[in-house]
């Protein structure tokens, strides 16, 4: 684990990220808050590409909690069976859809606690939804962010909670809304787990990672 970078270095890092990608976007396809919740819940231990392939047709016919209930669990499984853990995920999607209909009038709540009370929705999922749909600067720490944060010194921490706090405490507020997207994209395409592309990295000269590749 690298030590925590200082304020000026972090500001320079995110200035470069912003210059390269001013409006980074999440890669999960969705049409409203509900489909975003479902997509993120389905993405656990799965790739965004795989989830998008499975949900593209699903969301054409089930883009509200009630429509998902009308489709039924077996109907849902027919669309998502290419995704890992699909049976358990299907059960959770049906349960959360039922709760949204019965307790929230079919609308997705926008507090972290309410979102986390839904089956299959953890803190990371809740933060993704708060950030992507309501533009709240919530930080959804996944394996990419955890790796980048600890390699680089941007937001080191012994677990995802510590990394989330490091982001909130150390990244300047004007970069907070997009911070987790920049870090995810950097981890996914540049600071990869096995073969980091240090030679083309925007922040190579600022990063504390000792095993830089060419």
Measured CA distances, 99 to 25, 65, 115, 208 (Å):
29, 9, 11, 46
Closest C-alpha to 152, from 116, 196, 110, 114: 196
142 is annotated as an active-site residue = yes
Candidate list 6, 60, 95, 142, residue with the active-site label: 142
Angle 112-113-117 (CA atoms, 0-180°, nearest 5)?
Answer: 115
Residue 170: how many CB atoms within 10 A of its CB?
18
Query: What is the pTM for the complete model shown?
Result: 0.91
Look at residue 2 in the predicted model and tell me its pLDDT.
Answer: 87
Look at residue 92 in the predicted model and tell me its pLDDT.
Answer: 97
HSE on the CB side for 117, CA within 13 Å? 12
pLDDT in tens, 112-149: 999 999 999 999 999 999 999 999 999 999 999 999 99
Look at residue 186 in the predicted model and tell me its pLDDT.
Answer: 97
E runs forming strands in the chain: none
Q: Give pLDDT < 70 ranges for the chain.
A: 214
89 is annotated as an active-site residue = no
Look at residue 212 in the predicted model and tell me its pLDDT.
Answer: 81
Look at residue 45 in the predicted model and tell me its pLDDT.
Answer: 87
Candidate list 60, 103, 124, 195, residue with the active-site label: 124
Burial (CB < 10 A; 0-12, 13-18, 19+), residue 206, is middle
């Amino acid at each position: 684990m690298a030590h925590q970078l200082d304020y000026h270095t972090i500001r320079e890092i995110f200035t470069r990220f912003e210059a390269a990608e001013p409006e980074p976007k999440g890669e999960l396809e969705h049409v409203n808050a509900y489909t975003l919740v479902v997509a993120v819940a389905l993405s656990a231990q799965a790739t965004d590409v795989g989830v998008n392939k499975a949900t593209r047709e699903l969301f054409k016919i089930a883009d509200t909690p009630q429509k998902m209930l009308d489709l039924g669990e077996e109907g849902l499984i027919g669309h998502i069976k290419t995704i890992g853990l699909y049976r358990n995920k299907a059960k959770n999607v049906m349960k959360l859809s039922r709760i949204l209909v019965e307790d929230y009038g079919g609308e997705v709540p926008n507090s972290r606690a309410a979102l986390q009370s839904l089956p299959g929705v953890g803190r990371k999922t809740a933060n993704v939804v708060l950030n992507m749909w309501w533009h709240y600067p919530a930080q959804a720490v996944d394996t990419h962010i955890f790796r980048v944060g600890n390699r680089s010194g941007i937001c080191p921490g012994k677990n995802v909670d510590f990394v989330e706090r490091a982001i909130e405490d150390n990244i300047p507020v004007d970069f907070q809304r997009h911070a987790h997207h920049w870090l995810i994209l950097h981890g996914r395409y540049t600071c990869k787990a096995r073969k980091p592309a240090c030679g083309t990295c925007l922040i190579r000269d600022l990063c504390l990672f000792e095993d830089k590749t060419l």
